Every structure is written in C-alpha cells, then in structure tokens.
C-alpha cells in the first residue's frame, strides 16, 4: 500500500471541494427542490436529513476508506484487499458501468444548461409570451442537432479537465468552480430576501415547517435521493478517496462533504421556492420543466431577473461539470490501474461514453421516434425515452445495489482491524467515540434500509404496506391526507 507513486490531493480542503463538487450536482439544484416541494417540505426534509446521517454518511466514509487504504480505484482496490478473482470486485465493474449510464444522460441535461446560459446571456427570455417558455424548451428537447452539439461540447470540457490529472486538472477546476458556486448561490439567496409577497419567508416556512403529514413511501424517496446526491454506490467517492494520504481524518472529511451537499440542496430549495412563490402565475412544475420552463418564466418579470437567470444557469453548469468530472474519473481510474496511461485512458473512456450518450441526446427527436417509437414530453415517471430509462436504471437500481454491496463489503468482509486503523489514521486519538456507531451503521442500519428500498422497487413489498408501516412509526394517517399533502403539484 505504498503512497509514493500515486498522485495526491494538494490538501484536505482540495479533497473536500472535489468530493463536494462530485456530490453537488443536478440532484441538489433541480431534483431535491422539486421532491421537497412535491412531498410538502417539513417532515420530508427532516427525514431526508436523517437518511443522510444514518445511511449516506456511513457509506460515504466506507467508500473513502477502501480507496484510501489501497490507493487504488474500485476493481484494483478490492482485488488488493480480497485477492484476485474476489466476487466483491463486481462492485468495481458495476461502478464503471454506472458511470457510463449516469454520465450518458448527465451530459445531455448539462448541454441544455449550457444552451440556457446562452439564452439568458443574450436576454432572449425578455418579452417572451408565457407559452413561449414551454415551446423554447420543447424545441430544444426534440432537436437532434442542438442536443448533440451541446452534449458533445460539455463532454469535451469534462474530458479536458480529467485528462489534466488529479492536481493539474480535477483539483484546479473544482477549487475554482466550487467557491464560484458558493458565491453565486449566496448572491441569489440574498436577492431572494427582497422578493415580493413574503415569498422568502413562505419558502422557509414551507421547507422547514411544511405539512404535518407525508406519504409513508416518501421516506423511500428521501433514502434513494440521499444516495444519488452523495454520489454513492458506484465507487466515485472510493476513487476520490484513493488520492488521499494518511494525514486525513476520513470521518471529518466525509462529514464536511455531507454538510456542504446538504446545505447547498437546502439553499437551492429556498431559492427556487422563493422565486416560484413570488410569481403566482407560474406553476411549480416537476421534471425538467421546473428548471427550464417555470423558473425562467417566473424570473423574467422580476427586477434583476436578467442577472439572476444568468447566474442561476452558470451555477447549475458549475455543479454539473464538477459531478461529470468525477463520473468520468471513475471510468478512467479503472483503466489507469490496469496499467494504461492517463491520456490514453481518458481518450478511450470519454469517447466511449460520448457514444453511449448519443441515444440519450437523440431519444426525444422526431427521427428517433419514427424508428424507436413514441415518447411523451416530460414524462419521467413513465420512463418512455432512452434518456429516462438510463436515469431510472442508475438511480433506482445500480446505485442502491452498489451502495449495499460496499456497506456489506466494508462491514463484513474487511477486518475490524483494518476499519479501526483507517478510521483513526489522521486523528490524534487511538479510539474515537464515533468509531463504534459508524461501524454499527455501516454494518447493519445502512444495509437493512437499502435492502428495503430494493425490495419495494422490485415490487416484492407493496407500497401500501410501506405507507401503513411508516404511518405507524410517524404516528399519522397519510392514506387519508394524501391528497391534501401535495396540493401544489402541477405537472406540465
């Protein structure tokens, strides 16, 4: 386990910013605000915070631990710890596969974001009629040319960063973009305080007090999302952890990543809710419509709307890029540990993922429809397009299964001695009080909870049963109040 030959992060802060960059992505800025609103805020947000603490954080630390202990990316790391041919190595292969799947649709959405930066910068939204906002996005959504162009450009930028290596590429970029993201977020948040109709306090109220009752099954949504948002279950945090040296306190670093990710998701929710509440005419949509239709429409008549729209899309671009970098790094590090040089590995992986991304970029276009069948716009739940299917496959299956496997591997296959040693490296103490609780959560709490999500996803447990079960725990009766619990949901 020599640490000599491997490139390392320049500092602990550099790691935290890079890992937070991976975690903070479209999941925080678009998906979380939407599901928090959809589930009525309040109790849902509280449950989400608990999920991050009892499932997300333990698994995050477990991933970082395997990476740091071996100084290798997933497949090579597990082979080093458990021997070549260890069945656990499937975690690594699954992770590489997941990076293909997630990145292939991520580049399409990030491409839309870049297109919107141009629209915002050129002040195209000013003077648009309400129905034109939907049409603008609809046209982009089905355009083969624009989708391919922007997805390709975004992939090229991601490629250039990853090719630069850990210090020269990834660290340099994330250490620039993450502070930039914080600044933009704070600027927009401050601007939101001045919004009319008491929108800002209404947003705070909705998010933190919200409805008394939520649908029991929403607990599962909170859990599933806590995985996605922390980039867990596919070896991304394991890979970033492999560039850490022994001076770093893993738990503390992981804690920082989780805190930054959570705070940013909450701030993004306050921003989006304030803007939507301030504008009573624009509906609070779900799916891509929220970001690309409702939000620009709500912002267009507001004072300072030009800058806020522009800053907002730049911010989303930063978030998407720092996540995409880590997704590509997972695949690239796999080849590097097989003996490839970084440049060649990046060329091969970036090109392959770009190819896999093409169907996602084209799946809504007329030509694709003619060949592969009908699609419905914004229909995420129906998962009709190739793009939606990729998202579903990764978020609902690959990441939870990968996360479960990591927790079980670290919790049961690795020795307690190794866990103990890694946990306490970089601390001044020999035995920290939180070691045992972390172990307990990694070995039992996280796996049990994840197995439950997978069973429900597979249809082995009925949603109704889940609802009743959580109703009991939460001391409520959501089956009666379900309608009332999400009044503001309005799909495009």
Q: Which residues bind ligand TRP (CB under 6 A)?
A: 22-23, 25-28, 102, 228-229, 231, 234, 236, 323, 326-327
| 174 vs 279, beta carbon nearer ligand TRP | 174
| 26 vs 362, beta carbon nearer ligand TRP | 26
Alpha-carbon distance of 323 to 257, in angstroms, equals: 13
Of 107, 94, 62, 274, the closest CA to residue 185 belongs to 274
Least distance CB 212 / ligand TRP (angstroms): 28
Least distance CB 23 / ligand TRP (angstroms): 5
Token pair listed for 338: 């097989």
| 32 vs 409, beta carbon nearer ligand TRP | 32
Alpha-carbon distance of 120 to 114, in angstroms, equals: 10
Instruction: Please name the residue that has the structure tokens 């989780």.
Output: 258
| 99 vs 143, beta carbon nearer ligand TRP | 99
Is residue 348 within 8 A of residue 369, CB to CB? The reply is no
Is residue 139 within 8 A of residue 132, CB to CB? The reply is no
Least distance CB 320 / ligand TRP (angstroms): 8
Alpha-carbon distance of 359 to 144, in angstroms, equals: 10
| 110 vs 361, beta carbon nearer ligand TRP | 110
| 195 vs 295, beta carbon nearer ligand TRP | 295
Alpha-carbon distance of 338 to 323, in angstroms, equals: 24
| 387 vs 470, beta carbon nearer ligand TRP | 387
| 383 vs 424, beta carbon nearer ligand TRP | 383
Least distance CB 231 / ligand TRP (angstroms): 4
Least distance CB 138 / ligand TRP (angstroms): 24
| 18 vs 362, beta carbon nearer ligand TRP | 18
Q: What are the phi and psi torsion angles at 247 (to 5°)? A: -80, -5
Cβ-Cβ contacts under 8 Å for 266 (sequence gap 6 or more)? 45, 207
Least distance CB 227 / ligand TRP (angstroms): 8
Of 15, 5, 4, the closest CA to residue 253 belongs to 15
Between vectors from CA 71 to CA 70 and to CA 75, what angle results, nearest 5°?
70
Least distance CB 337 / ligand TRP (angstroms): 18
- Residue 485's Cα: distance from chain center in Å? 26
Least distance CB 236 / ligand TRP (angstroms): 4
Q: Is 285 left (phi over 0), alpha (psi -120 to 50) or beta?
A: beta
Is residue 240 within 8 A of residue 97, CB to CB? The reply is no
Least distance CB 329 / ligand TRP (angstroms): 8
Q: What are the phi and psi torsion angles at 197 (to 5°)? A: 65, 25
Is residue 22 within 8 A of residue 237, CB to CB? The reply is yes
Least distance CB 21 / ligand TRP (angstroms): 9
Beta-strand ranges (E) seen in 194-319 are: none
Least distance CB 178 / ligand TRP (angstroms): 14
Of 334, 428, 427, the closest CA to residue 61 belongs to 427
Is residue 100 within 8 A of residue 393, CB to CB? The reply is no
Alpha-carbon distance of 287 to 282, in angstroms, equals: 15
| 92 vs 426, beta carbon nearer ligand TRP | 92
Of 396, 394, 375, the closest CA to residue 386 belongs to 375
| 71 vs 231, beta carbon nearer ligand TRP | 231
């Amino acid at each position: 386990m020599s640490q000599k030959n491997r490139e390392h992060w320049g500092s602990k802060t550099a790691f935290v910013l890079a890992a937070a960059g991976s975690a903070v992505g479209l999941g925080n800025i678009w998906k979380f605000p939407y599901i928090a609103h959809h589930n009525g805020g309040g109790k849902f947000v509280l449950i989400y915070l608990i999920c991050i603490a009892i499932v997300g954080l333990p698994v995050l630390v477990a991933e970082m631990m395997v990476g740091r202990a071996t100084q290798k990316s997933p497949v090579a790391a597990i082979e080093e710890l458990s021997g070549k041919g260890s069945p656990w190595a499937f975690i690594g292969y699954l992770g590489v596969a997941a990076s293909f799947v997630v990145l292939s649709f991520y580049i399409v959405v990030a491409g839309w974001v870049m297109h919107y930066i141009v629209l915002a910068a050129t002040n195209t939204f000013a003077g648009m009629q309400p129905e034109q906002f939907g049409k603008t996005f609809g046209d982009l959504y089905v355009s083969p040319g624009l989708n391919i162009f922007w997805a390709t450009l975004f992939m090229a930028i991601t490629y250039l960063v990853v090719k630069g290596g850990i210090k020269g590429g990834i660290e340099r970029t994330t250490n620039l973009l993450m502070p930039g993201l914080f600044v933009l977020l704070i600027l927009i948040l401050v601007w939101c305080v001045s919004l009319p109709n008491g929108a800002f306090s209404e947003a705070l109220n909705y998010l933190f007090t919200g409805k008394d009752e939520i649908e029991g099954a929403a607990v599962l949504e909170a859990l599933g999302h806590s995985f996605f948002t922390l980039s867990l279950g596919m070896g991304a945090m394991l890979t970033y952890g492999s560039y850490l040296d022994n001076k770093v306190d893993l738990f503390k670093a992981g804690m920082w990543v989780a805190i930054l990710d959570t705070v940013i998701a909450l701030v993004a929710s306050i921003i989006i809710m304030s803007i939507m509440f301030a504008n009573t005419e624009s509906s609070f949509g779900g799916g891509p419509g929220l970001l690309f239709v409702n939000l620009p429409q709500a912002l267009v008549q507001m004072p300072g709307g030009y800058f806020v729209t522009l800053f907002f899309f730049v911010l989303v671009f930063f978030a998407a890029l720092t996540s995409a970098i880590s997704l590509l790094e997972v695949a690239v590090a796999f080849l590097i540990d097989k003996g490839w040089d970084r440049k060649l590995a990046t060329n091969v992986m970036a090109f392959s993922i770009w190819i896999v991304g093409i169907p996602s970029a084209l799946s809504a276009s007329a030509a694709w429809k003619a060949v592969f069948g009908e699609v419905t716009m914004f229909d995420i739940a129906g998962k009709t397009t190739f793009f939606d299917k990729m998202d579903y496959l990764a978020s609902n299956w690959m990441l939870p299964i990968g996360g479960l496997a990591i927790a079980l591997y670290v919790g049961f296959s690795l020795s307690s001695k190794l866990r103990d040693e890694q946990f306490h490296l970089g601390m001044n103490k020999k035995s920290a009080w939180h070691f045992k609780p972390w172990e307990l959560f990694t070995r039992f709490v996280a796996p049990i909870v994840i197995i439950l999500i997978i069973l429900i996803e597979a249809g082995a447990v009925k949603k109704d049963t889940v609802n009743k079960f959580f109703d009991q725990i939460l001391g409520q009766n959501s089956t009666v109040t379900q309608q009332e619990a999400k009044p503001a949901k309005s799909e495009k």
